[in-house]
């Protein structure tokens, strides 16, 4: 009997893609991305957020909003009748409690030297989010529903690099071998007070491990999985699955979050038929705001534990590994830390500036291919004064391969050591809604019989 799935299946043809791209581009140009307003600042930093991306009223925020908003003026388009009509329609929906935060990202990346293949690939990722505020609808005060649909198309460069960390993780999500559209979030959130919320439903976990300069879902800041969230937790935490939890808030942002999750990924199904059939995952994060040097920052400490029985690696688009059996192990765990700290901030808007970030983590080595992980770098707003909407990032990571799992990988992939890499990007805000991002990466292989890979290319993100 076939599994019941929550997905919309669209056949990918060149004609449909071109027409869709033109519609999306035009809509983004005349309307731009929606702005949720100051009340949803930092809304990307936890799984249960009622909104997914936002800007402040000055539309030059970088920190909690990342850079998806672009935030340049309409450059005369505000006088266009169509632009005004579309903006009015969008505002009328927002006034009724319905907002949309959508984007399409295109990657053209290749490996000019090293890796498994010296080839170039063109890939696309669509991310479509709708938020419903039932309080504004007059149904239930403090009740929110978040829907996220995702799909991917094309050929990701990650399969050519030979590295364990995907160079463009978003290009492989939500399901690496499918071009269907899947619902990865169907999440209900109930605020019991200004400082406490409960949430339950299907959720994706990529918004966890929040960092002001190294987060962004692989489409707004760094592209490599090593800088998007804690790679040490990938073995215990599925990408999209059913779960529930709560969060204590501080000034609208999560201070302490706790989740109970189904232990297996169900991005391509409803998940009810296998809910807790293979165990449970517990996840908790404490993210404390700091004010070192009189500038904003955060210190985050998180941990995961899973009761799942691990018998093989399986296919996870967030890490490139062969699907081979491993010695059976009951349970796995991970601990991780990250920090972000502004070094330069705009006196008028403290969340516009740049600073440093760092991550570190350890995990049990019986089921996790990564035993320990380190990363650090710089990022934030462009230091070029006249490019207020641009942003940049440069980072380094070191991934320590598990001694136990590495021995199993050697039978299939050859000698295995530790991996490391560097990524540099610069986000150019072309318009209010479109960013073009040149990206360079150098990946030193964990697979010792594969040459180090140089990855180059660009991505274009269109928010609408």
Q: How confident is the model at residue 49 (pLDDT cuts 50, 70, 90)?
A: very low
Residue 3 is assigned to a structural domain of this protein: no
CB 405 within 8 A of CB 311: no
Peptide bond into 174 cis (omega under 30): yes
Does residue 325 register a pLDDT over 70?
A: no
* DSSP conformation class of 446: S
**Secondary structure of residue 245 in the 3-state scheme:** strand
Please give the structure tokens belonging to residue 278.
Answer: 């293979």
Question: φ, ψ for residue 21 (rounded to 5)?
Answer: -65, -40
Does residue 51 register a pLDDT over 60?
A: no
| CA-to-CA dists, residue 420 to 97, 164, 316, 398, angstroms | 45, 10, 20, 4
Residue 2 is assigned to a structural domain of this protein: no
pLDDT for residue 411: 67
Residue 4 is assigned to a structural domain of this protein: no
Name residue 416's beta-bridge partners. Answer: 447
**Secondary structure of residue 309 in the 3-state scheme:** strand
Residue 6 is assigned to a structural domain of this protein: no
Q: Model-level pTM greater than 0.85?
A: no
Quote the distance between the C-alpha of residue 265 and its chain's center.
16
Nearest to 379 by CA among 196, 162, 215, 189: 215
Does residue 309 register a pLDDT over 90?
A: no
Residue 412 is assigned to a structural domain of this protein: yes
pLDDT for residue 311: 67
> Percent of the chain having pLDDT more than 90?
52
Please give the structure tokens belonging to residue 295.
Answer: 């500038």
Residues 57-113 pLDDT 10s = 333 333 333 333 333 344 445 556 776 777 788 888 888 899 999 999 999 999 999
What's the structural domain count of the chain? 1
pLDDT for residue 464: 84
Residue 90 is assigned to a structural domain of this protein: yes
Residues 356-396 pLDDT 10s = 999 999 998 877 888 899 999 999 999 888 888 999 999 99
pLDDT for residue 318: 78
CATH of the domain at 238: 2.40.160.180
pLDDT for residue 398: 96
Q: How confident is the model at residue 38 (pLDDT cuts 50, 70, 90)?
A: very low
Burial of 147-162, coded b for 16+ CB within 10 Å and e otherwise, reads bbbbbbbbebbbbbbb
The residue segments making up the domain with residue 328 are: 11-463
Name residue 187's beta-bridge partners. Answer: 146, 201
Residue 314 is assigned to a structural domain of this protein: yes
Nearest to 247 by CA among 197, 175, 182, 186: 197
Residue 228 is assigned to a structural domain of this protein: yes
Nearest to 187 by CA among 150, 242, 267: 242
């Amino acid at each position: 009997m076939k599994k019941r799935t929550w997905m919309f299946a669209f056949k990918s043809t060149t004609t449909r893609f071109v027409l869709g791209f033109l519609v999306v581009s035009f809509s983004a140009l005349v309307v731009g991305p929606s702005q949720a307003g100051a009340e949803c600042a930092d809304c990307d930093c936890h799984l249960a957020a009622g909104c997914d991306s936002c800007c402040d009223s000055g539309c030059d925020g970088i920190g909690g909003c990342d850079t998806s908003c672009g935030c340049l003026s309409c450059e005369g388009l505000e006088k266009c009748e169509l632009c005004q009509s579309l903006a009015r329609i969008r505002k009328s929906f927002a006034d009724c409690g319905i907002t949309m935060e959508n984007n399409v990202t295109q990657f053209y990346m290749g490996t000019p030297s090293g890796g498994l293949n010296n080839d170039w690939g063109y890939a696309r990722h669509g991310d479509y989010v709708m938020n419903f505020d039932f309080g504004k609808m007059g149904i239930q005060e403090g009740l929110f529903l978040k829907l996220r649909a995702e799909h991917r198309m094309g050929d990701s460069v990650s399969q050519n690099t030979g590295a364990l960390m995907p160079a463009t993780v978003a290009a492989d999500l939500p399901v690496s071998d499918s071009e269907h559209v899947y619902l990865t979030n169907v999440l209900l959130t109930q605020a019991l007070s200004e400082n406490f919320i409960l949430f339950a439903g299907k959720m994706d976990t990529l918004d966890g491990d929040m960092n002001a300069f190294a987060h962004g879902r692989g489409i707004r800041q760094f592209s490599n999985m090593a800088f998007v969230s804690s790679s040490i937790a990938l073995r215990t935490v599925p990408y999209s699955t059913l779960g529930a939890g709560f969060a204590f808030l501080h000034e609208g942002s999560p201070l302490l979050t706790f989740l109970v999750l189904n232990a297996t990924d169900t991005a391509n199904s409803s998940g009810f038929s296998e809910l807790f059939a293979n165990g449970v995952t517990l996840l908790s994060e404490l993210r404390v705001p700091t004010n070192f040097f009189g500038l904003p920052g955060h210190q985050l400490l998180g941990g995961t534990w899973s009761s799942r029985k691990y018998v093989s690696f399986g296919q996870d688009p967030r890490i490139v590994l062969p699907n081979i059996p491993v010695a059976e192990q009951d349970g796995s765990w991970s601990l991780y830390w990250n920090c972000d700290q502004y070094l330069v901030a705009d006196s008028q808007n403290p969340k516009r500036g740049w600073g440093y970030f760092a991550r570190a983590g350890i995990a049990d080595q019986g089921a996790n291919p990564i035993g320990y992980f380190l990363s650090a770098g710089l990022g934030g707003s462009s230091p070029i004064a006249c490019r207020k909407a641009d942003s940049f990032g440069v980072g380094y990571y070191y991934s320590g391969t598990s001694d136990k799992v590495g021995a199993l990988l050697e039978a299939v992939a050859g000698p295995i050591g530790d991996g490391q890499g560097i990524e540099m990007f610069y986000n150019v805000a072309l318009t209010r809604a479109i960013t073009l991002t040149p990206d360079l990466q150098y990946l030193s292989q964990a697979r010792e019989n594969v040459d180090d890979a140089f990855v180059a290319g660009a991505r274009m993100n269109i928010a609408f």
